[in-house]
Amino acid sequence: MKGNLRAAVIASLVLGLASCAWSPREAEPDEVRARVAEDRAALTAAAPPPDELTLSEAVGRAVHQNLALRAALLEESLAHAEFEEGRLDLLPRVVATNEYYGRNNQLASVSESVLTGNQSLEPSTSSERYGWRSDATAAWNILDFGVGYLRSREAANEALMARERRHKALQDLVLDVSVAFWRVASAEHLLRQVEPIRARLGEALAQSQALTESQLLDPTQANTFQRDVLDQLRALRSLERDAESARLELARAINAPGVRFRVRGVDPARAQTPQLKVPVEQLEFDALRLRPELRGADYERRISRLEVRRALLEALPGLELRVGYNRESNDFLVKDNWWSYSGALSKNLVELVTAPKRIALAEDRGELADARRLALSTAVMAQVHLAYQDFRSAEAQAAISERRRYLESRASAITAVRADAGTASELDAARAEGRQLVAELQHASSYARVRESFARLQNAVGETPAPRYEHLGDLAELSRWAELTLTSWERRAAFGRGSARVRLAYRDLAPFSWHFSAPPSAVASPPPR
């Protein structure tokens, strides 16, 4: 026995020293390379975009493959799993034990008289040296059940808050895709004309310089001409760079970095701008009702109230009920199996002293949540007003740019006719063409800004419903959802919520989304659980 004990002590010391001798190991180069290869493969695993990308396809692809939105979805799933796990804590504790015991001698005892101090019995035993015992005990603490129930409700609201955070990430992603798409699409058909016009302006600039050096052109007139041409070249370069940056941003949003793709171009001269006839007061009311941040604040308010109730409940004593079934192999027992039960009332007296402070702290958290919600509501109202004014300003700017585009187009046509007739120079014709292209690109940029401000207003109001969970893996269904979402918002802005067209749009959208702004007569489907 002593040898076995000595061996056990030595083995424990060896294992303890070995654990103390372990040190952290840095990542090996092979591990880093494997991780890089794995990440690159995951990033490039997405299907390539179609030859010509529409806005609804771009939004659907972004929702389907955007990594940030996928992370938000995983966060929501984790919060829901934690809620489901917390519900299991409401069940009573059931503990089963099976024990084998033994000793090197008999468990014997004697008795002594309390009156005389003499031994009243000879040494005796009522247990065997070797044996086993087992039991299964169920324990249920009523106070812990109440506290666990409130914690479970808090976890449920936290899961709903995670859903609203994902909804907000979805709305921001749709906004980013819409802004980048319209910046690219509005200038797509014009960018092909940039390089020929740039080459012609470069030739005109060189020809003007040559005429100036040969004293065939007045220096003042030449300087004015060259400044105009350089301004046009700079404007073309800036507009081209903005379009390319928007293309890269769109590629990032749809998870297609480094992939060349085309978008379905829009001619701003023929395209209709979105109409906005809803008063800003109605948009403000809808934003306070629909914004995911404020809906999340509602759930946070619920959590604050539950924390106050939990703090009050924790100040009560706890009643624990136990019932168990026991068996033992001891042959000295008259009954080798029996049921046991008990009830105990207990309370940590220190918690009674600290209960008022904990209750006050929970109430303070509730007041803080209310203050944050009011501050957030103020910020949301300001965002709606700013987005509304920005849209009206973009509309006015688009009208001005459209007028200038018309004037530059007419001036270019007149100059071309005069150049053919010999009453104007080729330099003037090249400059007029450059001005026309710059005006068209600026008008395209103004049209894109109208669309951008319209999308920002949609984001500020919160009129972007989330797709159903079962559609998140279907790219075609997501594209259909995006098309219906954008259509319903345009109809909503143009005709108001109560119009028949808007009700029809919401009816078409209902099968694709459960979280959308429906009229009073419509009912949204609940999320799948």
Interhelix angle 55-65/475-495, rounded to 10 degrees, is 130
Given this model, what pLDDT does residue 47 score? Answer: 57
Per-residue pLDDT of the chain (529 residues; tens, 9 = 90+): 445 556 655 666 655 555 555 556 666 666 655 665 665 555 555 556 667 788 888 898 888 888 888 888 888 888 888 888 888 888 889 999 999 988 888 888 888 877 887 877 788 888 888 889 999 999 999 988 999 999 999 999 999 999 999 999 999 999 999 999 988 888 777 777 777 777 777 777 777 777 766 666 667 777 777 788 788 888 878 878 888 888 888 888 887 777 777 888 777 777 788 888 888 998 999 899 889 999 999 999 999 999 999 999 988 888 999 999 999 998 888 888 999 999 999 888 888 888 889 889 989 988 999 999 999 999 999 999 999 999 999 999 989 988 988 898 888 888 888 887 777 777 778 778 888 888 888 888 888 899 999 999 999 998 888 887 767 778 888 888 888 888 888 888 877 665 555 565 556 666 666 444 333 333 333 333 3
Q: Check residue 525 and give its pLDDT.
A: 35
H or E segment to which residue 248 belongs: helix 219-253
Question: Which residue type occupies 224?
Answer: T
Give the number of residues written for the chain. 529
Hey, what amino acid is at 441?
L
Longest Cα–Cα distance in the chain: 145
C-alpha–C-alpha distance, residues 157 and 296, integer Å: 9
List, in order, residues 6 or more apart from 483 with CB less than 8 Å away.
56
Helices (H) and strands (E) in the chain, counts: 14, 10
pLDDT at 67: 80
Q: What is the DSSP string of 460-520?
A: HHT--PEEPGGGTT-HHHHHHHHHHHHHHHHHHHHH-TTSHHHHHHHHHHGGGEEES---T
Query: What is d(CA 160, CA 300) in angstroms, rounded to the nearest whole number?
Result: 10
Rounded CA-CA distance 63/465 in Å is 12
What is the helix, strand, coil percentage profile of the chain, to 5? 65, 10, 25
Nearest C-alpha neighbor of 386 from the set 310, 456, 433, 489: 456
Do residues 482 and 59 lie in contact, with contact meaning Cβ atoms separated by under 8 Å? yes
> Which structure tokens are listed for 204?
């005109």
Q: Which residues contact 207 (CB under 8 A, 6 or more apart)?
A: 426, 427
CA–CA dist 328, 100 (Å, integer): 10
CATH of 47-100+128-333+341-515 given 3.50.50.100, 1.10.10.10, 1.20.1600.10, 1.10.540.10: 1.20.1600.10
Query: Residue 288 burial by CB count (10 A; 0-12/13-18/19+): exposed, middle or buried?
Result: middle
What is the 8-class DSSP label of residue 105? S
User: 445: which residues sit within 8 A by CB, 6+ positions away?
Assistant: 183, 186, 187, 239, 242, 401
CB 370 within 8 A of CB 297: no
Is-contact 76 296, C-beta < 8 A?
no
How far is the C-alpha of 270 from the C-alpha of 240, rounded, in Å? Answer: 21
Q: Are 178 and 60 in contact (CB under 8 A)?
A: no
- Cβ neighbours for 194, distance < 8 A, ≥ 6 positions apart: 236, 240, 437, 441
pLDDT at 39: 58
Q: What predicted TM-score, i.e. pTM, was given to this entire model?
A: 0.77
State the pLDDT at residue 125.
82
Helix, strand or coil for residue 45?
Answer: coil
